[in-house]
Amino acid sequence: MGRIPVQDVQPCVDDGLRPAKSVVDEAFTIRATVFREGHDAVNATVVLTAPDGTEQHVPMTCTNAGLNTWETTVSADRLGWWTYRVEGWSDPYATWEHDAGIKVAADIDTQLMLDEGIRVLERALAEVSRPADGVAVLEDAVTALRDTSRPPAARLQAALDPAVHAELAQRPLRDHVSPSRDLPLLVERDRALYGAWYEIFPRSEGAVRDPKTGQWQSGTLRTAADRLPAVADMGFDVVYLTPIHPIGTTARKGPNNTLDAGPDDPGSPYAIGSPDGGHDAIHPDLGTFEDFDAFVARASELGLEVAMDIALQCSPDHPYVTEHPEWFTTRADGTIAYAENPPKKYQDIYPLNFDNDPAGAYAEMRRMIQVWIDHGVKIFRVDNPHTKPVEFWQWLIQDVAASHPDVIWLAEAFTKPAMMHTLAKVGFQQSYTYYAWRNAKWELEEYVRELAGDAAAYMRPSFWPTTHDILTPYMQFGGPAAWKLRAALAATLVPTYGIYAGYELTEHVARPGAEEQIDNEKYEYKDREWYRYEKGGDLEGQSLAGYLKRLNEIRRDHPSLHWLRNITFHPVDDENIMAFSKRRTLPDGTDDIVLVVANLDPHSTRESVIHLDMPALGLGWHDQLAAHDLITDQSWQWGENVYVRLGPETEPVHIVEARRL
């Protein structure tokens, strides 16, 4: 315990054993409890230390005097490992200011108090280095305090001048400085927090079915590359590939997860491995590494990063099964256990077991990841990481980061909160979430507040309205309004969101008894005939591609949507209408403010009144703002109370650019 107690510094992840996280220039709040005995004034400062050892001192503000809570907002301006600490200190000037203000006004010990002020300011001049203009400000104050020709109140006021306050706020005189311990901060690249993902099955992009024989010809990495311009035109940042490796034939799944696969059924790409190779190989139908390199290069030309799906599991035909049987779980009857998540069974998949030979298994996984890094992949979406040891992920991610700190990992872990949070703490930059199942206003607001609160120090959510595994009843029966709504919310509630190919076509029919699409692309090819929806096609205009493009344009144009922790929810009279805002102060001092109002009922047009929290928008309660809907191009003048009407008859969501009038 220091001379000035400093306690409960936040954020503090696992008692400081793991870093808090941010991206370059992302603002976040540091808070602490700072106090002292008696009545002398106390103050606090955050010290942010860059990777090269340079320090930035940021003054804190007491936001709750009764609880001694101090806060400030900081940001780090470069990548790497930083630290931060809170320093509590006794403030001689503030102590004198308080006492002198009372005593001089009451004419008690007046000259003594003025002399005390001289002593404090002379110490501030002697003990703290200052520029010439700062020295002049304090010297003028000392001269005024000594000027007995002036009334005591005037002499005092000169020493309390705003210029004196400003100088001592920037370069304070600090006694009994008491630092907390240094806490780690990992500052990563922007894509770790912000991005729009688009998921494809490469084998479907360019797949062709012979109308006479019914046989399919697989798409390839080359034909998948032909889809990239459309993905880039919609404004996505990342194209995510489901597994592209050879697929086993033993227990191969047929259409709709059946067990009777025909000789031409392609099987699940998650049943990885065949005599053609394993996780470090490419399915022969898709092409070669030369084709993969061409795909990555084309994506880069279009401003897209490539994310690869890493599924650490094997088909019974994977080379690992014969070469390393110790890497699997053997049951009492001598057979290898296949994957199960009752009532679901995955007979075509053997989970890896890392406990029998951790050194060997860890080393092989690291070698395999390096293969794809060497071919230009810097983002990995990890399938079911919660089924592998947490210590393995901690080791792997840290080992990769030692030589490739720009690699990003997304955890597809739909599991209990403790595991999801721990995976984020040990290194995963991003995490899938429960967004798909949060539909009511109260549960969305509660969940996003949780994600944007303390958890945001280490866990960055990725919102997906649907995936190849998920098609909720809301999406099955909500109609086009639901598909617009859920995309718009995913794109604006959090900085990273994802869309599964076919979302543009509102593919909403589920396999009976399951929350996933019928004729699922996991088990068969799918030719979506994209050309029919393009200009001149017979289905032109019957796609949400233009809507998704507009969402991504809005996201790119508005930096406030690039952050997570800057969200504010606003009260609305109707429980089916949700309103929230994001505000960010830009380098030029202006505020970028986006207001989103969404009707969560996809079946009905609803009208209600929003009660805007004007101070949260940087405005006074009686100010007016210019509201421009970035979806419909309509404009209004809004104040504290706003009438809205939204629904399938018009648009389910307002995305409003707000500016002070």
Crossing angle of the two packed helices 152-159 and 132-146, in degrees rounded to 10: 170
Q: Do 385 and 351 touch, CB atoms closer than 8 A?
A: no
**Cα–Cα distance, 223 to 355 (Å, whole number):** 41
**514, amino acid identity:** A
Cβ contacts of residue 659 below 8 Å, gap of 6+?
593, 625, 626, 628
Residue of 26, 291, 364, 412 marked catalytic = 412
The candidate with the shortest Cα–Cα distance to 199, out of 542, 432, 537, 515, is 432
**Cα–Cα distance, 485 to 438 (Å, whole number):** 13
Label the pairing between strands 80-90 and 42-49.
antiparallel
**Cα–Cα distance, 266 to 280 (Å, whole number):** 19
Tell me whether residue 586 is exposed, middle or buried, using C-beta atoms within 10 angstroms of its C-beta: 0 to 12, 13 to 18, 19 or more: exposed
**217, amino acid identity:** Q
Distance of CA 384 to CAs 310, 311, 317, 413, 420, Å? Answer: 9, 7, 21, 5, 11
**Cα–Cα distance, 358 to 67 (Å, whole number):** 49
The candidate with the shortest Cα–Cα distance to 465, out of 422, 423, 508, is 508
Question: Would you state the structure tokens that stand for residue 313, as one six-digit string?
Answer: 């599991």
**Cα–Cα distance, 482 to 466 (Å, whole number):** 12
**Cα–Cα distance, 350 to 346 (Å, whole number):** 8
Buried b (16+ CB within 10 A) or exposed e, 226-248: ebbebbbebbbbbbbbbbbbbbb
Label the pairing between strands 55-59 and 42-49.
antiparallel
Asked about 412 being catalytic, the answer comes back as yes
Report residue 85: phi and psi, to 5°.
-145, 160
Q: Do 475 and 483 touch, CB atoms closer than 8 A?
A: yes
Residue 154 CB coordination number (10 Å): 11
Buried b (16+ CB within 10 A) or exposed e, 252-272: bbbbbbeeebeeebbbbbbbb
Go through the chain and tell me how many residues it has. Answer: 661
Reduced to 3 states, what is the DSSP secondary structure of residue 612? coil
The candidate with the shortest Cα–Cα distance to 523, out of 246, 248, 247, 254, is 254
Residue 162 CB coordination number (10 Å): 7
The candidate with the shortest Cα–Cα distance to 90, out of 38, 40, 49, 140, is 40
Whole-angstrom Cα Rg for the chain: 30
Asked about 175 being catalytic, the answer comes back as no
Residue reference for tokens 């070669």 = 288
Tell me whether residue 133 is exposed, middle or buried, using C-beta atoms within 10 angstroms of its C-beta: 0 to 12, 13 to 18, 19 or more: exposed
**Residue spans of beta strands (DSSP E) within 137-194:** 175-179, 183-188
Residue of 285, 317, 383, 524 marked catalytic = 383
Distance of CA 75 to CAs 59, 66, 558, Å? Answer: 13, 27, 19
End-to-end CA separation in angstroms for the chain? 51
Q: Which residues are catalytic?
A: 383, 412
